């Protein structure tokens, strides 16, 4: 069996997505997500110029060898662009494998370890009251887990808070917007946010929060400790994960569970964090973490240390990644939770999806392979248009993490 062709499909139904389609001499094709928010064309070019020519003629069933061909076989390893390209190839090849064997992908990853996938919703508001109201609406929809983010008095626009009462979308058209940030104000405010939630809605809902890389290790340690009374499901990205050792401070001072890694792309980003048991959940998603081939190894490594998965699932991860994650989450033992930020309705004009939300859980369909399809003609109706994540400065103008 041979790969005969592959193409990159760039489209923008409401937001940009990059999709890789791999075609074979058996008429079966596979789809992989190659979206890297705000850097879409870098991955598209990497695939088109370097990977696709090397894929043609290879046997698509050899997922392990092809993964290493593009990882070990290339001198320049790791990095978000490279790993997103490898992820897309790997997803598409596993999609082909499932279709060839006529079975949903979870069967090739270990079968069913559970019937439904726990997901968390998002509630963000411009102030405490609006955040509480939005959280109440998510609880009404049946969610058992909610991430709460709120506007902070004295800081302009804040991460995770929707503008103009539209659903939250991480990227904006054109060059990056500039946001401002004040860590002391944030640290003083966040405990109040959780206190308020628990006083209104009680202890029955899992609560999550994303610090979005904005604390130093010792600031993060303070925050994690002060949030202990509210029993978070997790505190996400309390520090920038590039300094793995920084998590030792957080761990030494607090029992608040920690999730990290939505910007990671390799098991080596996690090695200290996992072996020293400094975290509780891995966030690295299939689309940036090397696809199934690599993530199966990362999840197995984490499971040895009783660490669970909690994959990134914002709107910049395409429906292909969501379906892929649901297969993965169905099959592995150490699944924890899945992020679920619903795509805009217009996304369904291009992608045919095979999953549904019901009462706090997601359900994946039984179509062979990953089970999501793309309508290439419709995709052409929504051409790519540049959009970026914001940048962030401290109030004195110092460039900071976003």
Least distance to ligand EZ4, CB of residue 314, Å: 3
Task: Give the closest residue to 35 by CA, choosing from 374, 393, 391.
Answer: 374
**Which one of 122, 144, 209, 212 is the catalytic residue?**
212
Looking at the Cβ atoms of 33 and 210, the one nearer to Co ion is 210
Residue 368 CA to residue 97 CA, distance in Å, equals 9
Least distance to Co ion, CB of residue 236, Å: 5
Least distance to Co ion, CB of residue 158, Å: 14
- Which residues are CB-contacts of 62 (< 8 A; sequence separation ≥ 6)? none
- Based on the shown chain and the rule CB under 6 A, indicate whether residue 367 belongs to the binding site for ligand EZ4: no
- Using CB positions, name the residue nearest to Co ion: 210
- Based on the shown chain and the rule CB under 6 A, indicate whether residue 108 belongs to the binding site for ligand EZ4: no
Task: Give the closest residue to 289 by CA, choosing from 258, 310, 305, 315.
Answer: 310
Could you tell me how many residues of this chain bind ligand EZ4 (CB under 6 A)?
9
Least distance to Co ion, CB of residue 144, Å: 19
Least distance to Co ion, CB of residue 338, Å: 13
Catalytic-residue membership of 231: no
Binding mask 169-208 for ligand EZ4 (x = CB under 6 A): -x--------------------------------------
Task: Name the strand (E) or helix (H) holding 355.
Answer: strand 355-358
- Based on the shown chain and the rule CB under 6 A, indicate whether residue 314 belongs to the binding site for ligand EZ4: yes
- Based on the shown chain and the rule CB under 6 A, indicate whether residue 388 belongs to the binding site for ligand EZ4: no
- Based on the shown chain and the rule CB under 6 A, indicate whether residue 33 belongs to the binding site for ligand EZ4: no
- Using CB positions, name the residue nearest to ligand EZ4: 314
Looking at the Cβ atoms of 96 and 387, the one nearer to ligand EZ4 is 387
Task: Name the strand (E) or helix (H) holding 3.
Answer: strand 3-11
Number of Cβ atoms within 10 Å of the Cβ of 376: 13
Query: Which member of 33, 40, 210, 269 binds ligand EZ4 (CB under 6 A)?
Result: 210
- Based on the shown chain and the rule CB under 6 A, indicate whether residue 95 belongs to the binding site for ligand EZ4: no
Least distance to ligand EZ4, CB of residue 211, Å: 10
Residue 349 CA to residue 15 CA, distance in Å, equals 13
Give the one entry of Co ion, ligand EZ4, none that residue 170 binds, where binding means its C-beta sits below a cut-off of 5 to 8 angstroms depending on kind.
ligand EZ4
Catalytic-residue membership of 401: no
User: What three-state secondary structure class fits 125?
Assistant: strand
The Cα-based distances of 22 to 4, 277, 331 in angstroms read 8, 39, 25
E-state strands within 229-291: 234-236, 258-260, 281-282
User: What three-state secondary structure class fits 19?
Assistant: strand
Give the one entry of ligand EZ4, Co ion, none that residue 285 binds, where binding means its C-beta sits below a cut-off of 5 to 8 angstroms depending on kind.
none
Q: Which stretch binds ligand EZ4 (CB under 6 A): 86-94, 269-277, 310-318, 329-337?
A: 310-318
- Based on the shown chain and the rule CB under 6 A, indicate whether residue 330 belongs to the binding site for ligand EZ4: no
For the chain, give the longest Cα–Cα distance: 62
If you write DSSP's letter for every residue of 139-200 in order, what string do you get?
HHTT-SEEEEEE--TT-SS-TT--STTSPP-S-EESSPPEEEE-HHHHHHHHHHHHHHHHHH
- Based on the shown chain and the rule CB under 6 A, indicate whether residue 316 belongs to the binding site for ligand EZ4: yes
Q: What angle do CA 201, 202, 204 make, to 5 degrees?
A: 100
Residues serving a catalytic function are 159, 212
Residues at the contact surface with ligand EZ4, assessed by CB under 6 A: 37, 170, 210, 212, 262, 312, 314, 316, 389
């Amino acid at each position: 069996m041979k790969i005969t062709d592959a193409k990159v499909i760039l489209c923008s139904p409401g937001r940009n997505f990059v999709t890789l389609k791999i075609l074979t001499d058996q008429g079966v094709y596979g789809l992989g997500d190659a979206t890297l928010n705000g850097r879409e064309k870098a991955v598209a070019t990497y695939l088109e110029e370097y990977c696709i020519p090397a894929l043609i003629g290879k046997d698509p069933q050899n997922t392990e060898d092809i993964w290493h061909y593009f990882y070990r076989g290339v001198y320049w390893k790791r990095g978000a662009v490279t790993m997103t390209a490898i992820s897309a190839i790997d997803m598409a090849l596993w999609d082909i494998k499932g279709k060839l064997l006529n079975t949903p992908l979870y069967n090739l990853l270990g079968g069913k370890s559970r019937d439904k996938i726990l997901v968390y919703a998002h509630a963000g508001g411009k102030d405490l009251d609006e955040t509480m109201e939005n959280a109440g609406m998510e609880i009404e929809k049946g969610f058992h887990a909610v991430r709460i983010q709120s506007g902070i008095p004295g800081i302009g626009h804040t991460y995770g808070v929707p503008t103009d009462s539209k659903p939250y979308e991480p990227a904006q058209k054109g060059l990056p917007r500039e946001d401002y940030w004040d860590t002391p104000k944030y640290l003083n405010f966040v405990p109040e946010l959780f206190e308020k939630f628990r006083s209104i809605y009680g202890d029955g809902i899992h609560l999550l929060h994303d610090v979005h890389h904005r604390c130093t290790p010792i600031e993060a340690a303070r925050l994690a400790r002060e949030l202990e009374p509210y029993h978070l499901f997790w505190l996400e990205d309390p520090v920038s994960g590039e300094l793995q050792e920084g998590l030792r401070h957080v761990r030494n001072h607090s029992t608040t569970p920690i999730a990290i890694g939505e910007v990671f792309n390799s098991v080596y980003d996690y090695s200290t964090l996992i072996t020293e048991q400094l975290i509780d959940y891995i966030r690295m998603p299939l689309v940036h973490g090397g696809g199934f081939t690599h993530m199966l190894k990362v999840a197995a490594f984490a499971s040895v240390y009783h660490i669970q998965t909690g994959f990134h699932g914002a709107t910049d991860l395409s429906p292909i990644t969501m379906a892929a994650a649901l297969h993965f989450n169905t099959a592995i033992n150490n699944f924890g939770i899945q992020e679920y930020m619903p795509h805009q309705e217009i996304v369904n004009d291009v992608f045919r999806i095979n999953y549904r939300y019901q009462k706090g859980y997601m359900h994946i369909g039984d179509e062979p392979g990953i089970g999501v399809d793309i309508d290439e003609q419709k995709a052409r109706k929504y051409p790519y248009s540049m959009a970026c994540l914001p940048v962030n400065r401290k109030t004195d103008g110092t460039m900071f993490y976003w």
